[in-house]
Amino acid sequence: MTAATTIPTRAIELTPEWLTTTLRSAGHAEITVTGVDVEPVGSGQMAGSYRLTLTYAEPGPLPPTMVAKMAIGDQSQREFASGVFRNEVLFYSRIAPTLTVPVPRAYAAVISDTHTEFVLLLDDMAPATQGDQIAGCTPEQARAIAVAAAGLHGPRWCDETLLELPGLVLPTHDDRVLMDSVLAPMADAFRARFALDDKESATIDWLVATAGDWLERPPTRFALIHGDLRIDNVLFGADGAVTVIDWQTITPGNPLRDIAFLLASSLNPADRRTHERDIVGAYHTALLDHGVTDYSFDDCWRDYLDSLIQSPLIIVFGCGAAIPTERGDRMFATMLARTAAALNDLNPDALR
């Protein structure tokens, strides 16, 4: 997958000529696109997604529709988001083929040298439907996502070559210093924006007090993690099959960060209390099926408990980075309420 000379930043620039050149550069040598209709899909804030209905000169192996994900906005916006653009193109072009986690197929991926422009041409997963973070998910859906996540973590479990890829490094002391400098102000802004109950307020206190030490502590084991594994970032097929999307926040780390965030933020507390140990067990079994060894269920459960901080961390940082919307505010408030309940159940000392 190669970089094109001019990379569109507006949907109108996704012309038949550009698509033909890009698809041919990605190995689809016989493809000629003669027409394209473009329809916005999703509600991305740092990148735009569009459904392309394509007409080809000759019938061929490529589908009649694709989804184009691309950098949008002005230059300053794109510069701010360049790291996540790099991550997503890196994932689809170099990492996804080495994993078994279900993701959309990428037909082409192009990015500029500055990482401020990119286009991904992905499988159109319609009629699969996106999860709803506010509504949450069922225990069966959470289990399916967790088992799918084992296909992200297991194949490259403790694989040092991951750390050779651009931008994929384990946290350092400098990262901790940077996070410490911004976390408290972001937490204060979060408090000012939401009316928190005692447990929710205590959750934010615990996050600010402990996140630095947690981040800097080297993980006993690591894998590539999604970083934002929650129900909004999953598509569900009619048969219940899951597809994981939005790979902008990939990083190496303790893989149970993904599972802890998923269960704490996407399950209602009653369902989580009843089913979380079984879901973690199913995830652990799937890891073993992917060849992970010397990792007991007790190890997995301890990592799960230690990784619960991922949930308030992503909530506070995500809220601070996102453009405020009514749905966004409802979503972050709901996620924090669920997370505070999880901490109260599993680590009550944190909230005292």
CB 62 within 8 A of CB 23: yes
| Consecutive 10-residue averages of pLDDT for the chain (352 residues) | 70 96 93 96 78 94 96 87 93 97 97 95 95 96 98 98 94 94 95 95 96 93 97 93 95 97 97 98 98 97 97 94 87 97 92 79
- Confidence at residue 112, expressed as pLDDT on a 0 to 100 scale: 94
- Confidence at residue 43, expressed as pLDDT on a 0 to 100 scale: 60
**Residue 69 exposed, middle or buried by CB count within 10 Å (0-12, 13-18, 19+):** buried
Helix (H, G, I), strand (E, B) or coil at 50: strand
- Confidence at residue 3, expressed as pLDDT on a 0 to 100 scale: 44
- Confidence at residue 2, expressed as pLDDT on a 0 to 100 scale: 44
Give residue for tokens 């799937």.
286
DSSP string computed for 221-260: S-EEE-S--SGGGEEE-TTS-EEE---SS-EEE-THHHHH
pLDDT digits (tens, 9 = 90+) for 75-112: 888 898 899 999 999 999 999 999 999 999 999 999 99
3-state helix, strand, coil in the chain (%, to 5): 50, 15, 35
- Confidence at residue 47, expressed as pLDDT on a 0 to 100 scale: 85
Q: Which amino acid is at 302?
A: R
- Confidence at residue 127, expressed as pLDDT on a 0 to 100 scale: 94
- Confidence at residue 344, expressed as pLDDT on a 0 to 100 scale: 95
pTM (2 decimals)?
Answer: 0.93
* Domains of the chain (ranges, CATH numbers): 11-123 (3.30.200.20), 129-351 (3.90.1200)
- Confidence at residue 52, expressed as pLDDT on a 0 to 100 scale: 98
- Confidence at residue 322, expressed as pLDDT on a 0 to 100 scale: 79
CB 14 within 8 A of CB 68: yes
